[in-house]
Structure 1
Amino acid sequence: MKNSGIEVVKVLNNNVIIAAHPDYREVVVIGKGIGFNRKAKDRIPSEAVEKLFILTNEKEKEQYQQLIPQIDEKLIEVMNEVILYISEHAGAPLNEHIHIALTDHIAFAIKRLEQGIVLQNPFLLETRELYPKEYAIASYVIRTINDKMNVHLPPAEVGFVTLHIHGAITNRPVSEVNEYSRLIGELIGLIERQMHITIDRSTIAYSRLLRHLRFAIERTKRKETVHEPDKLGELLKQQYPEIYSIAWTLMKVMQRRLRQPVYEAEAVYLTMHLIRLMQKDDSLEKEKPAGDS
């Protein structure tokens, strides 16, 4: 931000103002106490706002301004604090939309809590395994909100916040991130039914399977080519025909849900993970596509 700072156009509350910015024209500036004792035409030096959030996208600005009157001012302040924490620990820039989406989500979560409505999160364990860094950040966020707002948001909310954080880091809508998590959860359920097993969620084999499914979905969405190791597919078909068939069923489900073709090589890698899951060892560790584990 340039040294000339910004000029207050309108104070929305103690923590949010509309300001004229030298680079972005009119912006929404969010930060603890930024609007306290301010009035239109006041100038705020750049050093006073260097750790604050500035919404420059026109759509995001309008949505946030509409949201502000509906949210308790104390919650706005707490959300500023936790989103700053997220930005400092995410390791990547955050999409601006997190200010709207996460604030709105938490406000409704608190309202539901007051009404005695508690949402279940059947994919909480999967979410923790798929996005461990985001989950750790989300755990801090929920603890902070519970402490500062004197509420008791349930552990399920950690999973929901994790998806918001991951979406903001990857520039993907939360609905899309949530869709992938649900798909993975359904695939795990399908594996258990088809293989007549109950998967031990604490094993390394399960963690690896989850990560593989996540990367397989992402590869499919990116239309990334996956090559099958020479002759491995034929070998697995002969030695593990039933498991290979289940892997193909999983592929077909992914293909139908993602509305995109899934490379046949994915069946080979899925078969290897399913075998490892049954054997609970790493005896079939093979070369996997880049980025997989």
Structure 2
Amino acid sequence: MEQQVTIKKVLNNNVVIADHPSYQEVVLIGKGIGFNRKQKDQISLNKADKTFLLSSEKEKEQYMNLLPHIEESLIDFMNDILIHIEQRMGQELNEHIHVALTDHLAFAINRAKQNMQFSNPFLLEIESLYPKEYQIAMEVVTMVYDKMGIQFPNGEVGFIALHIHSAVTDKTLREINRHNQLITQMVKLVEDTMGITIDKHSVDYHRLVQHLHRAVDRVYQEENIGDEIRLAKMLKEEYPVCYNLAWKLIKVMQKQLNKPVDESEAIYLTIHLQRLTHKS
């Protein structure tokens, strides 16, 4: 039996807010779903291409304020984009992406129409850290071009990838950006201390970024990776420069994340840095 909900507010021809018997307010998106509808009309959930909750009052208010400034055709297209992202990621997205990505793409389209160019300083880090999200973001950029004839600058791929990563991990963009800035800071410290420039397109760079990313994640999760005192002593004697650099990186993490870092991280960092110096 088709589940019926009661329309509470028609936002435009493609979006309505309805009262759901179990979830209270839900947002229904679908082509023409709001056409000739009015408050208190009954509507089947099957009529919607996409149904989502906006349990946060702040996000609901943002979404309702945002819609009047966006063409209805873009709302319909955003639905296609979000369905594509969910299918490609193979999981449901956090509800906040409906507000955040719609808002972002609407402004990005306006910027592109005005030929406003800007760069994304973390583009290579984002591509290295979140390869699947980055690939899907490239597909979204292609969808926008195919549908609207608008070509986004490369930096836009990185921003869209961050929105996708935020929606699948339930981390805020602020947290993710802080994470990326920390990794960029640590890579620069490695280059400055070792007197090298790492090719940002190389396998070495990708491995270093991935290693630092996992180390930061372990700090967030307060994960202990074991106590290897003898190995640490040997590495300190054999590779003092790399061992000291590893501790510099650990201190940077501790300061930026305001969390203790397991001392065993020094072992893994030293080994990785020694490989990097040896190759350099």
TM over 0.5: yes
What residue is the counterpart of 2:197 in the other structure? 198
Partner SS, residue 231 of structure 1? helix
* Residue pairs, 1:1-293, within 5 angstroms: 3-49=2-48, 51-59=49-57, 60-280=59-279
What residue is the counterpart of 1:290 in the other structure? none
Q: Distance in 1 between matches of 2:16 and 2:81?
A: 19
Is the CA contact 1:28–1:61 (under 8 Å) kept in the aligned structure 2? no
Identity %: 49
Partner SS, residue 164 of structure 2? helix
Deviation per residue, 1:241-272 (Å, 9 max, x gap):
01111111111111111111111111111111
What residue is the counterpart of 1:291 in the other structure? none
The alpha carbon displacement at 1:173 in A equals 0.4
Is the CA contact 2:54–2:96 (under 8 Å) kept in the aligned structure 1? no
The alpha carbon displacement at 1:115 in A equals 4.0
The alpha carbon displacement at 1:231 in A equals 1.7
Matched AA of 1:39: K
The alpha carbon displacement at 1:234 in A equals 1.1
The alpha carbon displacement at 1:86 in A equals 0.9
Matched AA of 2:171: R
Is the CA contact 1:55–1:61 (under 8 Å) kept in the aligned structure 2? no
Q: Distance in 2 between matches of 1:17 and 1:29?
A: 5
Partner SS, residue 262 of structure 1? coil
Deviation per residue, 1:149-176 (Å, 9 max, x gap):
3322111111111111111101110111
Is the CA contact 1:10–1:17 (under 8 Å) kept in the aligned structure 2? yes
The alpha carbon displacement at 1:100 in A equals 0.6
Q: Distance in 2 between matches of 1:53 and 1:273?
A: 46
Query: Quick one: structure 1 residues 58 and 123, their matched pair in 2 at CA, closer, same or farther if it must change by over 3 Å?
Result: closer
The alpha carbon displacement at 1:230 in A equals 5.0
Q: Distance in 2 between matches of 1:106 and 1:145?
A: 9
Q: Which moved more, 1:154-163 or 1:22-31?
A: 22-31
The alpha carbon displacement at 1:189 in A equals 1.5
Q: Which moved more, 1:9-18 or 1:51-60?
A: 51-60
Query: Quick one: structure 1 residues 7 and 155, their matched pair in 2 at CA, closer, same or farther if it must change by over 3 Å?
Result: same
Matched AA of 2:62: Q
Is the CA contact 1:233–1:268 (under 8 Å) kept in the aligned structure 2? yes
The alpha carbon displacement at 1:116 in A equals 4.0
The alpha carbon displacement at 1:276 in A equals 1.7
The alpha carbon displacement at 1:128 in A equals 0.8
The alpha carbon displacement at 1:191 in A equals 1.1
TM-score of the two chains, using structure 1 as the length reference? 0.88
Give the aligned length. Answer: 279
Deviation per residue, 1:174-232 (Å, 9 max, x gap):
11111111211121122111111111334333322211111111111122223243522
- The alignment's C-alpha RMSD in Å is 2.0
Matched AA of 2:226: H
TM-score of the two chains, using structure 2 as the length reference? 0.92
Is the CA contact 2:18–2:27 (under 8 Å) kept in the aligned structure 1? yes
Say which structure is richer in helix.
2
Deviation per residue, 1:13-44 (Å, 9 max, x gap):
12211112222223222233322343334332
Q: Distance in 1 between matches of 2:250 and 2:155?
A: 29
Partner SS, residue 28 of structure 2? strand
Unaligned 5+ segments in structure 2 are none
Q: Distance in 2 between matches of 1:254 and 1:56?
A: 35
Deviation per residue, 1:22-67 (Å, 9 max, x gap):
2222322223332234333433223323x41322414232221111
Deviation per residue, 1:97-132 (Å, 9 max, x gap):
001111111122223334443221122111111111
